[in-house]
Amino acid sequence: MHKRQFIQAAGWAGTAILAGGCAQTLLLPSVAPQASRFQETLRQIEATSGGRLGAAMLDTQTGAAYAYRGAERFPMCSTFKFLAAAQVLSRVDQGREQLGRRITVRASDIVPHSPATQPRVGGLPMTVAELCEATMTLSDNAAANLLLQDLGGPSGLTAYMRSLGDDITRLDRIEPELNEATPGDSRDTTTPQAMLQSMQKIVLGAALSAASRAQITRWLLDNKTGDRKLRALLPAGWRVGDKTGG
């Protein structure tokens, strides 16, 4: 696959990779490994990591799909922020939200890891677009919580997922409590296959308008928190859009 195809809709593959207790959502170039090789590779990675790993991958050019522990639940951690940003854009498409609307950041809003919002306490309010960008590219926790307030909270985001046909993904708490990730606790979890299907609808499908799809793709590409994670292992020159989770 040519590098330039990577940022074209026909050349994207939605991949939900969940490892190390929390999830990482990313878009990878379309590849078609044999299912057995895919499974064995993931088993080896899981064995050396000492954790439980789940992955789902779709080649959008061929329709080939692969999964490893694809139906098992994993904590979303910060990957829910991709879904929250998508819900904001959906509301923009419906005329229920404006990216230019300003929201005041208060000291009481600040939680650990709020690099973009903390400097704005008591200062110039942030636009919804700025909060989305901080949420997506810096994984700013206060920004995500502020967005959730206008989305109906965790239950509002869960309802949005149901509207996409995703009856698996659920958000129950806000930052930072949702990162607790107690084994066996289904709160704030998804499965690799559910995340993959929702990502495909959001980034490539009809869940958002063309303008909103382009916007969320830019935020994925501009993410700063994944530079030393999965995208660091890909060949130089490849463009990767991702949302890390832990």
Catalytic residues: 78
From the number of C-beta atoms within 10 Å of its C-beta (0-12, 13-18, 19+), residue 239 rates as: middle
Residue with tokens 């959001």: 202
Angle of CA points 164, 193, 54, to nearest 5°: 145
Is residue 14 within 8 Å of 58, Cβ to Cβ?
A: yes
H helices present in the chain, as ranges: 35-49, 80-93, 128-137, 141-150, 153-163, 192-199, 210-221
- ∠ Cα 205 74 234 (to 5°): 65
Place of tokens 């993931």: 42
Nearest by Cα to 30 from 55, 67, 2: 2
* CA proximity to 174, closest of 132, 198, 140: 140
119-129 in b/e form (b: 16+ CB < 10 A) is: ebeeeeebebb
